[in-house]
């Protein structure tokens, strides 16, 4: 379930809560009417950490329910229900991060322990992804120039940066450079022995001799 944010707004818009969600659960038809309640901050075990917009949710039964049912009566009285919406990186969308319901038996809280979006540039190949959420993609621009696109993790801002291929490979030999070298290696069908002996291509054969 995704919610759109106002394009011109800065930060999280309160208007994201101005929705009525028509729901049919297979037995009954009801609406959840959302309204802005407050702003809050959350931290997932992996991925997003930052502000969320919290919406109150009102239950309105439409059809298929029994008005005399205790649960229906309880929820219809405007009991406490909340949905916290967090932004999806690099989009104008928000998605539920946490939902809480105060019931007659106990308080129910459903919360995401991992909240991250993975977007890959069109036509790109993923080189590597780090445990903290950083990603590197091998891309080619309109002129045919190959480069590496780095996507930072969400907590650090989620920005993307272009790195020239030569610069990327000379930055060291970390996991992302090793992954790129391995990817390049998969493009070569010949085995190392074939390359050294020139099998299949006489022009690549290594000449023997005692020296020059």
Q: How far is 13 from 112, CA to CA, in rounded Å?
A: 21
Model confidence at 85, in pLDDT bands (50, 70, 90)?
very high
Q: What pLDDT shows up at residue 52? A: 92
Place of tokens 């990603």: 135
For residue 165, count other CB atoms closer than 10 A to its CB.
Answer: 14
Q: What pLDDT shows up at residue 75? A: 77
Rounded to two decimals, the pTM is 0.53
Give me 37's structure tokens.
Answer: 């309640």
Model confidence at 40, in pLDDT bands (50, 70, 90)?
very high
User: Distances from the Cα of 39 to the Cαs of 80, 89, 124, in angstroms?
Assistant: 16, 18, 37
Q: How far is 58 from 75, CA to CA, in rounded Å?
A: 8
Q: How far is 199 from 190, CA to CA, in rounded Å?
A: 9
E strands present in the chain:
3-4, 20-24, 29-43, 46-47, 49-63, 81-87, 93-102, 107-111, 114-115, 125-129, 135-140, 146-151, 160-164
Q: Tally DSSP H helices, then E strands, for the chain.
A: 4, 13
pLDDT for 167-209, tens place per residue? 888 888 888 888 888 888 777 765 555 555 555 555 544 444 4
pLDDT for 20-39, tens place per residue? 888 888 888 988 899 999 99
Q: What pLDDT shows up at residue 121? A: 55
């Amino acid at each position: 379930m995704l919610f759109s944010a106002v394009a011109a707004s800065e930060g999280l818009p309160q208007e994201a809560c101005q929705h009525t969600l028509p729901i049919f659960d297979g037995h009954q038809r009801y609406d959840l009417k959302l309204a802005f309640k407050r702003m809050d901050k959350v931290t997932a075990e992996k991925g997003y950490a930052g502000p969320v917009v919290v919406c109150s949710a009102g239950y309105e039964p439409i059809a298929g329910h029994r008005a005399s049912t205790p649960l229906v009566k309880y929820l219809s009285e405007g009991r406490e229900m909340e949905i916290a919406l967090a932004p999806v990186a690099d989009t104008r969308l928000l998605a539920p991060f946490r939902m809480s319901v105060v019931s007659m038996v106990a308080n129910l809280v459903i919360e995401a322990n991992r909240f991250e979006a993975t977007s890959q540039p069109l036509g790109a190949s993923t080189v590597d992804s780090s445990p903290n959420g950083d990603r590197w993609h091998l891309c080619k621009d309109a002129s045919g120039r190959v480069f590496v696109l780095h996507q930072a993790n969400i907590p650090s801002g989620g920005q993307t940066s272009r790195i020239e291929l030569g610069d990327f490979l000379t930055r060291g030999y970390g996991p992302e450079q090793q992954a790129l070298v391995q990817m390049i290696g998969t493009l070569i069908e010949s085995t190392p022995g074939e390359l050294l002996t020139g099998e299949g291509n006489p022009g690549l054969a290594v000449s023997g001799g005692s020296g020059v």
